[in-house]
Amino acid sequence: MTPIDPQTRLELEAAAFRRLTEHLRERSDVQNIDMMNLAGFCRNCLSRWYREAAESRDVILSDPEAREIVYGMPYKEWQAQHQRPATPEQQAAFAKAPTHP
């Protein structure tokens, strides 16, 4: 593997995060419950991890602020535009899944 200096690694990780959030914004058809059922995390988890990382660097960020960073809009707005009620099948799969992050 090619050695990567710490600054380049940080920049690559930041670019990957930006691409992931862009992809999730483009794929608003993919529901959070589906992500939780298949991957064990969702947009809300990602926003919580972002907030926790900010806090570890003494940056105060509320959950709504972190969610807006991930969703690209206020969470309530995203819910109104894109979130569908979970189906009984989705709820059953969620209930069977291991503990969520």
Residue 30 belongs to domain with CATH number: 1.10.3340.10
CA distance 68 to 71: 5
From residue 26, alpha-carbon distances to 49, 70, 82 in Å are 21, 12, 11
- Residue 54 in domain: yes
The residue segments making up the domain with residue 85 are 6-94
- Residue 1 in domain: no
pLDDT of the chain, 101 residues: tens digit per residue = 899 999 999 999 999 999 999 999 999 999 999 999 999 999 999 999 999 999 999 999 999 999 999 999 999 999 999 999 999 999 999 998 776 66
Question: What is the model's pLDDT at position 101?
Answer: 65
pTM of the model: 0.89
Q: Report the number of distinct structural domains present in the chain.
A: 1
Cβ neighbours of 9 (radius 10 Å): 11
- Residue 50 in domain: yes
- Residue 45 in domain: yes
